[in-house]
Structure 1
Amino acid sequence: MKALISVDMEGISGIVHPTETNPDRYDYERGRALMTAEANSATAGVLDAEPTAEVWVIDAHGPFRNMLPEQLDRRARLVRGKPRPLGMLGGLDERTDAVLLVGYHARAGRGPAVMAHTMNDGILDVRVAGRSMGEIGLNAAMAGHLDVPVVLLSGDDSACAEARELVPSVVTVAVKQALGQGAAVALHPEEARERLRRAAAEAITRRAQVLPLRLAGPLEVEVDLAAPFMVDLAALVPGVARGEGGRTVTFSAADFAEAYRLVLLLAQLATVQPG
Structure 2
Amino acid sequence: MVIKVLISVDMEGIAGIVHPAETTPERYDYERGRRLMTAAANAVVEGVIDTEPAAEVLVADSHGPYRNILPEDLDRRARLIRGKPRELGMLAGLQAGAQVVMFVGYHARAGASGVLAHTIADAILDVRINGRSHGEIGINTLLAGSCGASVVLASGDDAACEEFSALVPGGIIVPVKRGLGQHAADSLHPQEANDRLRQSAGQAIRRHGEHRPVAVPRQLGIEVDLHQPRSADLAALIPGIARTGRTVTFTAEDMTAAYGMLQLLALLTHIGP
Place the TM-score, normalised by the shorter chain, in its bin: over 0.9
Unaligned segments of structure 1, at least 5 residues: none
Aligned equivalent of 1:47, options 39, 46, 49: 49
> What is the match of residue 153 of structure 1?
154
- After superposition, give the CA deviation of every residue in 1:181-210 in whole Å (9 maximum; x if it has no partner): 010000011100000000001111111212
Q: 5 Å matches for 1:156-235?
A: 156-235=157-236
Q: C-alpha displacement at 1:215, in angstroms? A: 1.6
Residue type of the alignment partner of 1:155:
G
CA contact 1:143–1:149 (8 Å) conserved in 2: yes
**How far, CA to CA, are the matches of 1:87 and 1:93 in structure 2?**
11
Q: C-alpha displacement at 1:94, in angstroms? A: 6.3
**How far, CA to CA, are the matches of 2:210 and 2:107 in structure 1?**
24
The verdict on how the C-alpha distance between 1:185 and 1:132 changes in structure 2, with shifts beyond 3 A counting, is: same
CA contact 1:12–1:104 (8 Å) conserved in 2: yes
Q: C-alpha displacement at 1:211, in angstroms? A: 2.5
CA contact 1:3–1:99 (8 Å) conserved in 2: yes
Q: C-alpha displacement at 1:214, in angstroms? A: 2.2
CA contact 1:104–1:159 (8 Å) conserved in 2: yes
**How far, CA to CA, are the matches of 2:231 and 2:47 in structure 1?**
42
> What is the match of residue 262 of structure 2?
263
CA contact 2:123–2:271 (8 Å) conserved in 1: no
> What is the match of residue 9 of structure 1?
11
- After superposition, give the CA deviation of every residue in 1:118-151 in whole Å (9 maximum; x if it has no partner): 0111000000000000000011100000110110
Q: C-alpha displacement at 1:272, in angstroms? A: 6.1
> What is the match of residue 86 of structure 1?
88
> What is the match of residue 70 of structure 2?
68
TM-score by length of 1: 0.96
**How far, CA to CA, are the matches of 2:94 and 2:148 in structure 1?**
11
CA contact 1:118–1:134 (8 Å) conserved in 2: yes
CA contact 2:122–2:271 (8 Å) conserved in 1: no
List structure 1 segments (4+ residues) > 4 angstroms apart after TM superposition: none
Q: C-alpha displacement at 1:177, in angstroms? A: 0.6
> What is the match of residue 20 of structure 2?
18
**How far, CA to CA, are the matches of 1:91 and 1:102 in structure 2?**
15
SS at match of 2:64: coil
How large is the RMSD of aligned CA atoms in angstroms?
1.2
CA contact 1:94–1:146 (8 Å) conserved in 2: no
**How far, CA to CA, are the matches of 2:96 and 2:204 in structure 1?**
19
SS at match of 1:4: strand
> What is the match of residue 27 of structure 1?
29
Paired residues, what number?
271
CA contact 2:115–2:185 (8 Å) conserved in 1: yes
Q: C-alpha displacement at 1:93, in angstroms? A: 2.3
Fraction of identical pairs, as percent: 59
CA contact 1:148–1:212 (8 Å) conserved in 2: yes
265-274 or 145-154: which moved more?
265-274
Residue type of the alignment partner of 1:37:
A
CA contact 1:160–1:174 (8 Å) conserved in 2: yes
The verdict on how the C-alpha distance between 1:272 and 1:27 changes in structure 2, with shifts beyond 3 A counting, is: closer
**How far, CA to CA, are the matches of 2:47 and 2:7 in structure 1?**
11
**How far, CA to CA, are the matches of 1:163 and 1:272 in structure 2?**
27
- After superposition, give the CA deviation of every residue in 1:50-86 in whole Å (9 maximum; x if it has no partner): 1010100110000000011111000000001111101
CA contact 1:147–1:214 (8 Å) conserved in 2: no
CA contact 1:19–1:28 (8 Å) conserved in 2: yes
